[in-house]
Amino acid sequence: MAAVDDLQFEEFGDVATSLAANPDATTINIEGPGETPKRLGPPRGSGREEDDELLGNDDSDKTELLAGQKKSSPFWTFEYYQTFFDVDTYQVFDRIKGSLLPIPGKNFVRLYIRSNPDLYGPFWICATLVFAIAISGNLSNFLIHLGEKTYHYVPEFRKVSIAATIIYAYAWLVPFALWGFLLWRNSKVMNIVSYSFLEIVCVYGYSLFIYIPTAILWIIPQKAVRWILVMMALGISGSVLAMTFWPAVREDNRRVALATIVTIVLLHTLLSVGCLAYFFDAPEVDHLPTTAVVPNQTVVAAKSS
Amino acid sequence: MPQLMRAFNVFSNSYQFAGLSDISISQDIPVEGEITIPMRSRIREFDSSTLNESVQNTIMRDLKAVGKKFMHVLYPRKSNTLLRDWDLWGPLVLCVTLALMLQRGSADSENDGGPQFAEVFVIIWFGAVTITLNSKLLGGNISFFQSLCVLGYCILPLTVALLVCRLVLLAKPGPINFIVRLFVVIMMFAWSIVASTAFLADSQPPNRKALAVYPVFLFYFVISWMILTFTP
């Protein structure tokens, strides 16, 4: 690169060509790739209408574009997976809060995820839930059978693997099935709102958060308390899911839309009731004293049968 | 360096009669030579000499390194030694000890017993790998094996807790027994967390520290639970 005239600016041409000419030269890239998606946050005014929040009209094009822009690395590089963990602490807390307080009319995906779905939340919430259920189940069984002379405490470690299989299968296979179903319906009916697979996984993951305190409270060996907790948890997380997916199916045939929402809530119910039934022994009707064990045990057996 | 001077001299000699104004510095001046770091030859010497040393020397050196790291865990200070020279001997020894001691002596044919040897092993190693991957995905700048090393070494307080629990369990069973074990396990759990965060927290960007530390908390909590619920 000869400077013929010292007073004239040299044309270095395109970055690519100059790099090709001189591969060892360093170039400064001022425009970072991470800047574009983040600009999505602040310019959104709070004066948006409800419909926009639900439908995300001009939003969905932008989010599709930006989602495409963000994941530019090929899938076999580490950087590709780093884009799924691009969340800060306060963002994770915000998303958890959003899953705990479903506001009617606010869509969890549009409000909190905003085309930045993360895998941190779903993965660690599921991991915590697995251990919460296994440990709480173990504790609750221990407390229920505390007085019995014939009861020998076992840590029941097998149940951790079973819990892990159930929870992770639910958190990944059900979103996959739902995504496939929505994709299929999208090809038949033009839906305004469509979610990517990761956004669905994200919603499901964060909606499972309510079950962590529920599982801990299930230690209380009262049937009524447990069922009230089931209802409350189901109400909250079910409504988050229903409000998220209603805009995606409401353009469709009425029956199909309703059936989808009902199926989502039903599967959620199945998960919670199944976990309650399998990991937590039924609390006894009476808490019996430890003296005179044998005749009381037969009485209890007669009562529970 | 002398080669560079020679090349430049050649250039200036060829332009001697044209005058100095014709020499343009932006022309390519061939630079040759080798840059050697004087350290390298010393290290190479050092390496070759370890081949000739006695086996006892080698073993003692590794044992001393492991022992020094144990000391670092017991008195956690922010030091780089643990991070720089990582090794996985300590974690392996601790993991095997923990898994062996968590085995119950009775030939229990019941399935719902305590964790099997393989389960403890898998939980510790896959847990550590998952935490490391999580930390790297969040943007931390710690290397993979350094993180495994730190997490493995910080199991030491919990192994001590298990030893104490086993000793306490030899005494009469009862609520006092349980309270003592609970207290010991809680103390050692807190110690593990403090020790590991002292080493790991700095490698994370500040707005994601909590996200990286929480899995460590979960990991040690699960191990503490396994220790606390151990019944011989």
User: For chain A, which residues lie within 8 Å of any Cβ of chain B, measuring from their own Cβ?
Assistant: 1-3, 78, 81-82, 84-85, 87-90, 92, 120, 123-124, 127-128, 131, 135, 138, 153-159, 161
Q: How many Å apart are CA B191 and CA B160, to the nearest integer? A: 11
Q: Does A54 have pLDDT greater than 50?
A: no
CB contact under 8 A, B207 and A128: no
| Residue that is written with structure tokens 């119910």 in the block | A269
Q: What percent of chain A has pLDDT over 90?
A: 26
Q: What is the DSSP letter of B25?
A: T
The answer to whether the CB of A121 falls within 8 A of the CB of A202 is yes
Confidence (pLDDT) at A53: 44
Q: Give me the pLDDT at residue A12, please.
A: 61
Q: Kindly write down the DSSP assignment for every residue of A248-266, as one continuous string.
A: HHTTS-HHHHHHHHHHHHH
The pLDDT value recorded for residue A44 is: 40
Better pLDDT: A183 or A292: A183
Give the list of residues 6+ apart from residue A253 with CB closer than 8 angstroms, or none. A189
Res A293: pLDDT: 46
Would the pLDDT of A266 be above 70? Answer: yes
Cβ pair A36, A69 in contact under 8 A: yes
Geometric angle at alpha carbon B192, from B189 and B193, rounded to 5°: 90
Please provide the average confidence, as pLDDT, over all residues in chain B.
81
CA distances from B221 to A163, A212, B201, B215 (A): 17, 15, 18, 10
Q: Cα(A78)–Cα(B137) distance, rounded to whole angstroms?
A: 8
**Using 50, 70 and 90 to split pLDDT, how confident is the model at A112?**
confident
Q: How confident is the model at residue A267 (pLDDT cuts 50, 70, 90)?
A: very high
Quick one: pLDDT at residue A169? 93
**pLDDT tens digits for range B49-70:** 677 888 888 889 888 888 888 8
CB atoms within 10 A of CB A63: 23
Minimum-distance CB partner of A89 among B137, B207, B218:
B207
Confidence of residue A36 (pLDDT cuts 50, 70, 90): very low
Is the Cα dihedral A278, A284, A288, A293 positive or negative?
Answer: negative
Copy the structure tokens of residue A285. Answer: 């009707």
Provide, rounded to the nearest whole percent, the portion of chain A with pLDDT above 70: 69
Instruction: Give me chain A's average pLDDT, please.
Output: 76
CB-CB neighbors (< 8 A) of B229 in chain A: 138, 153, 155
pTM of the model: 0.72
Per-residue pLDDT, B107 = 54
Residue type, position B84, single letter: R
Q: Do A155 and B231 touch (CB under 8 A)?
A: yes
Rounded mean pLDDT, A183-197: 81
**pLDDT band at A8, cuts 50/70/90?**
low
* Averaged pLDDT, A273-280: 90
Q: Does B27 touch chain A (CB under 8 A)?
A: yes
Give residue B39's pLDDT: 58
ipTM: 0.73
Task: Indicate the range of A74-88, A131-145, A261-275, B128-142 predicted with least confidence.
Answer: A74-88
- Which residues of chain B lie closer than 8 angstroms to A89, CB-CB? 207-211
Quote the DSSP letter at residue A22.
-
Residues with Cβ within 8 Å of residue A303, at least 6 apart in sequence? A285
> Is the CB of B115 inside 8 Å of chain A's CB atoms?
yes
Q: What are A264's two structure tokens?
A: 């989502």
Q: Which pLDDT score, from 0 to 100, does residue A125 have?
A: 94
Better-predicted residue by pLDDT, A270 or A251: A270
Looking at beta carbons, which residues of chain B come within 8 Å of A94?
Answer: none
Residue A213 has pLDDT above 90, yes or no: yes
Sites in chain B below the pLDDT cut of 70: 1-27, 36-49, 78-82, 105-112
- What's the rounded Cα separation, in Å, for the pair A211 and A288? 30
pLDDT digits (tens, 9 = 90+) for A146-158: 877 777 788 888 8
Q: What is the pLDDT of residues B80-105, one digit of tens each?
A: 666 778 888 889 999 999 999 888 76
A292: three-class secondary structure by DSSP:
coil
Work out the pLDDT band at A42, boundaries 50, 70, 90: very low
Q: In the prediction, which pLDDT does A50 show?
A: 44
- Determine contact, residues A22/B47, Cβ cutoff 8 Å: no
What pLDDT was estimated at residue A32? Answer: 45
Q: Say if residues A102 and A243 touch (Cβ distance below 8 Å).
A: yes
> What's the confidence (pLDDT) of residue A55?
47
Q: Taking the domains of chain A in order of start, what are their residue ranges?
A: 75-281
Q: Write out chain A residues lying below 8 Å of B209, CB-based.
A: 89
**Interchain contact, A2 vs B26, CB within 8 Å:** yes
- Could you tell me which of A206, A236, A230 has the C-alpha nearest to residue A217? A230
A98 or A37, which is more confident: A98
H-run or E-run covering A162: helix A158-188
- How far is residue B97's CA from residue A44's CA, in Å, rounded to a whole number? 56
